[in-house]
Amino acid sequence: MNLNALVISNEILCKNNMLMRLFVPDIAAKAKPGQFLNIICSSDNKLILRRPISIMDADAEKGCVDIGYEIRGEGTMLLAEQKKGAKIDVMGPLGNGFCIDDNFSNIAIVGGGIGIYPLYFLAKSLGECNIDVFMGYQCAGKVILEDEFKTEGCNVYLSTDDGSRGHSGFITELFSKTYKPGRYDMIFVCGPEIMSRKVVLMVRSNGERSQVSLEERMGCGIGACLVCSCEVKTAEGIGRKTVCKDGPVFNGDIVFPEVD
């Protein structure tokens, strides 16, 4: 669905990261954790190609959707310039989203950097579960959503690559110390590929389940151009799926097929 979204606010969250609230009731009513918006980042068509940004939160009653984003290049720079009252063209909600089972009781969420944004909406949607959240960042200045996860009752484990906050090193180290087979009903993962791969393979080698949100460069965002295709395991061997339409969330059993 192609819609005009009204910018309610667009504020600095931390170093190079912004939090934007959009009034877009049709998307807020349908959004599921793990889905994303494909956005034309400026109202004056300076950039034709849309940029995919995950839904960080949605409030169907208020008609609002929140997105958190890091300023990386031209698109996100233009998005950061949007002021309250601006209208931007968004498509969404796109993609499949995470599968949530009512029987879940113990959950692990593992996120790195901007991968943490969609996991917040997921944590809010998991109901009464016991949730351990493993959050990895480059440095203390880039820590996002720590208090928000704690407010949702999550147990937060935090690491920074440079040791300026929490565990010094990668979040995969903290996760591997805590993870024991049988401890979690599901492990949700989103972040840099190297992090996601490590967690998914660790869990898979124990015959356990995970769901991982993958990131690829995108064009159309709706399964038409195949720019975002990734390799997956199929009954016949290795096949391809689109991250935008078949994903971005995939069952951990089928991703990174070259490994086993």
Ligand X SMILES: Cc1cc2nc3c(=O)[nH]c(=O)nc-3n(C[C@H](O)[C@H](O)[C@H](O)COP(=O)(O)OP(=O)(O)OC[C@H]3O[C@@H](n4cnc5c(N)ncnc54)[C@H](O)[C@@H]3O)c2cc1C
| Footprint of ligand FES (CB under 6 A) | 218-221, 223-228, 242, 244
Q: Which does 179 bind (CB under 5 to 8 A by kind): ligand FES, ligand X, none?
A: none
Nearer to ligand FES, 72 or 177 (CB): 72
Nearer to ligand X, 14 or 105 (CB): 14
Q: Is the peptide bond before 118 cis (omega within 30 degrees of 0)?
A: no
Nearer to ligand X, 78 or 107 (CB): 78
Residues numbered 239-258 forming contacts with ligand X, rule: CB under 6 A: 248
Among 62, 72, 84, 177, binds ligand X (CB under 6 A): 72
Q: Please state, in angstroms and rounded to a whole number, the distance separating the CA atoms of residues 109 and 130.
A: 11
Q: Which does 42 bind (CB under 5 to 8 A by kind): ligand X, ligand FES, none?
A: none
Assess 70 for contact with ligand X (CB under 6 A): yes
Q: Please state, in angstroms and rounded to a whole number, the distance separating the CA atoms of residues 255 and 248.
A: 11
CA atoms within 13 A on the CB side of 84: 3
Assess 217 for contact with ligand X (CB under 6 A): yes
- The residues facing 51 across adjacent strands are 39
Q: At its nearest, how many Å lie between ligand FES and the CB of residue 245?
A: 6
Q: Which does 217 bind (CB under 5 to 8 A by kind): ligand X, ligand FES, none?
A: ligand X
Assess 166 for contact with ligand X (CB under 6 A): no
Q: At its nearest, how many Å lie between ligand FES and the CB of residue 95?
A: 9
Among 21, 32, 51, 198, binds ligand X (CB under 6 A): 51
Binding mask 119-158 for ligand X (x = CB under 6 A): ----------------------------------------
Nearer to ligand FES, 53 or 244 (CB): 244
Using CB under 6 A, list all residues that contact ligand X: 36, 51-54, 68-70, 72-76, 114, 117-118, 215-218, 248
